[in-house]
């Protein structure tokens, strides 16, 4: 065993061959641990009495690991510490030395918006749009299906515009659109052609109540190019244009609109609105018109209504029929414009279907013109053109115009109210007011 001390181990010279030296010329000595510094006593691990010494070299110190602090002890004050707020963790500072940065807030889930009110609003808007668009679309659809005829063409010497608005309403016995089954059901017969059973003027003045004026078909008037005849022969001879010209030149009133109502579809118009209520002062029987009605108030269906406006089974024949026609027409307009029809598509659409089949208008007239007329004729003044009396002519028993006839149309053409003494219901009617 060699007792000689081990020679000191030489340090490997740095690259370049010369050892590092301090500025004073002394060789460079690397720093040592505090316990190895000259003049310091080396620390050794000394076990306490009863503790087993650590294995290994002398002076070995065990490695110390940081232990987590229990949550309940994190803000516990040390014994003897003065009262005050708990110690706070130092806030981190930015790398550039600026003010401390706030820790990033944890991302919070975005609350889901309530979409139910928006959905309800969209549904309401869709319903409103449908309610607004559908009536307009239906009006244009049915307007395109209307039958039209050139009835208001200009002619030499035509009467100029007169105050207010005047319609010429013509009811014909045309059976062109009726099947044989319909003819049998409505008791219309099989006559060909088209003749006028009804001539009325609906006058809407600038002031005052509207007027529904019946023109008796036997009224003996001058017909352009034909001489003097019963006024209904103008339609039989020259159609709507000649009838309009005859009425304008005889009355001096300018006709602004034309509407013609035939047998075909008339019953569907009445049935579409659920019938029309009328009050009869006496029972009516007319086999030719297929009419059999009891006395009293009742709702007339399409076939019964057609029989009522056709029958002349009265003492005054046609004079009483025109009264019935006016009152029924006014009642029909009142029913058509009621909320029970306008707001009920199950009545409004069947009525429109029947109307476009039964009605013929001038080329310049539209469905909205008819709607405006119906609104204005809910409660009109009803009368018959006054006449001087009956007279036998080449056309048979005719109704002759007189001075009251000229005065009556003078008031109408000027757009002023007609005096009551010129208004007449021609001796009353079987229909109650």
Strand partners, 381: 211
Return the SS3 of 332.
Answer: helix
Q: How do the pLDDT tens digits run along the chain, 433 residues long?
A: 455 555 555 555 555 555 555 555 555 555 555 445 555 555 555 666 665 555 555 555 556 666 665 655 555 666 665 665 665 666 655 555 556 566 555 556 665 655 677 888 888 888 887 777 877 888 888 899 999 999 998 999 999 999 999 999 998 865 555 555 555 555 554 455 466 778 999 999 888 889 999 998 889 999 999 999 999 889 988 899 999 999 999 999 999 999 998 876 778 888 888 899 888 888 888 887 778 888 888 899 988 888 888 887 776 767 777 888 888 888 888 888 888 888 888 888 888 888 888 889 999 999 899 989 988 888 889 899 999 888 899 888 898 999 999 999 999 999 888 999 998 854 333 344 3
User: What one-character DSSP code corresponds to residue 21?
Assistant: B
Return the SS3 of 271.
Answer: helix
Strand 291-293 relative to strand 284-286: parallel, antiparallel, unpaired?
antiparallel
Q: What is the DSSP string of 192-244?
A: -S--EEEEEEEEE-SSS--EEEE--TTBEEEETTTEEEETHHHHHHHHHHHHH
Instruction: Return the pLDDT at 364.
Output: 92
Smallest Cα–Cα separation from 298: which of 308, 287, 289, 313?
308
Long-range contacts of 179-182 (CB under 8 A, 24+ apart): 182/264
Instruction: Return the pLDDT at 161.
Output: 92
Instruction: Return the pLDDT at 278.
Output: 87
Q: Where are the alpha helices (DSSP H) in 223-338?
A: 232-251, 266-272, 302-310, 318-336
Instruction: Return the pLDDT at 26.
Output: 57
Under 8 Å between Cβ of 23 and 17: no
Neighbours of 133 (CB within 10 A): 10
**Displacement of CA 352 from its chain's centroid (Å):** 18
Smallest Cα–Cα separation from 319: which of 412, 390, 421, 409?
390
178 to 181, 273, 278, 351: CA distances (angstroms):
8, 20, 26, 17
Could you give the CA distance from residue 329 to residue 263 in angstroms, rounded to a whole number? 14
Return the SS3 of 171.
Answer: strand
Instruction: Return the pLDDT at 221.
Output: 94
Residues listed for the chain: 433
Could you give the CA distance from residue 250 to residue 235 in angstroms, rounded to a whole number? 15
Neighbours of 183 (CB within 10 A): 15
* Burial group, residue 62, by CB count within 10 angstroms (0-12, 13-18, 19+): exposed
Instruction: Return the pLDDT at 114.
Output: 57
Q: Is the pTM of this model over 0.85?
A: no
Smallest Cα–Cα separation from 166: which of 254, 245, 240?
254
21 to 9, 27, 397: CA distances (angstroms):
18, 4, 157
Question: Among residues of the chain, what percentage have pLDDT more than 90?
Answer: 23
The number of C-alpha atoms within 13 Å of 223 and in the hemisphere containing its C-beta is 21
């Amino acid at each position: 065993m060699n007792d000689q001390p081990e020679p000191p181990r030489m340090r490997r010279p740095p690259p370049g061959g010369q050892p590092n030296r301090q500025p004073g010329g002394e060789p460079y000595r690397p720093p040592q641990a505090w316990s190895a510094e000259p003049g310091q006593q080396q620390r050794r691990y000394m076990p306490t009495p009863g503790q087993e010494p650590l294995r290994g070299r002398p002076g070995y110190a065990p490695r110390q690991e940081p232990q987590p602090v229990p949550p309940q002890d994190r803000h516990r004050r040390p014994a003897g510490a003065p009262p005050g707020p708990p110690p706070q963790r130092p806030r981190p500072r930015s790398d550039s030395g600026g003010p401390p940065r706030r820790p990033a807030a944890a991302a919070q889930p975005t609350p889901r918006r309530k979409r139910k009110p928006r959905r309800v609003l969209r549904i309401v808007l869709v319903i409103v749009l449908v309610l607004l668009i559908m009536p307009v679309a239906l009006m244009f659809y049915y307007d395109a299906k209307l039958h039209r005829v050139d009835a208001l063409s200009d002619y030499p010497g035509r009467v100029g515009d007169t105050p207010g608005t005047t319609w010429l309403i013509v009811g014909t016995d045309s059976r062109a659109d009726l099947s044989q089954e319909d003819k049998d059901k409505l008791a219309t017969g099989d006559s060909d052609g088209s003749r006028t059973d009804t001539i009325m003027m609906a006058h809407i003045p600038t002031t005052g109540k509207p007027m529904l004026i019946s023109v008796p078909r036997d009224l003996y008037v001058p017909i352009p190019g034909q001489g003097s005849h019963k006024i209904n022969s103008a339609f039989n001879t020259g159609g709507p244009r000649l009838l309009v010209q005859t009425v304008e030149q005889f009355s001096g009133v300018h006709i602004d609109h034309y509407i013609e109502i035939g047998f075909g579809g008339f019953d569907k118009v009445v049935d579409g609105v659920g019938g029309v209520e009328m009050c009869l002062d006496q029972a009516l029987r007319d086999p030719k018109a297929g009419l059999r009605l009891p006395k009293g108030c009742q709702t007339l269906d399409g076939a019964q209504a057609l029989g009522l406006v056709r029958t002349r089974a009265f003492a005054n024949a046609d004079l009483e029929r025109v009264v019935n026609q006016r009152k029924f027409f006014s009642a029909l307009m009142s029913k058509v414009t009621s909320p029970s029809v306008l707001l009920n598509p199950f009545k409004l659409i069947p009525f429109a279907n029947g109307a476009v089949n039964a009605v013929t208008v001038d080329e310049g007239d539209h469905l909205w013109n008819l709607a405006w007329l119906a609104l204005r004729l809910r409660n009109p003044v009803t009368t018959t053109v006054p006449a001087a009396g009956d007279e036998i002519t080449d056309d048979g028993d005719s109704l002759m115009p007189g001075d009251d006839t000229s005065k009556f149309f003078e008031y109408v053409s000027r757009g002023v109210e007609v005096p009551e003494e010129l208004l007449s219901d021609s001796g009353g009617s079987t229909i109650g007011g």
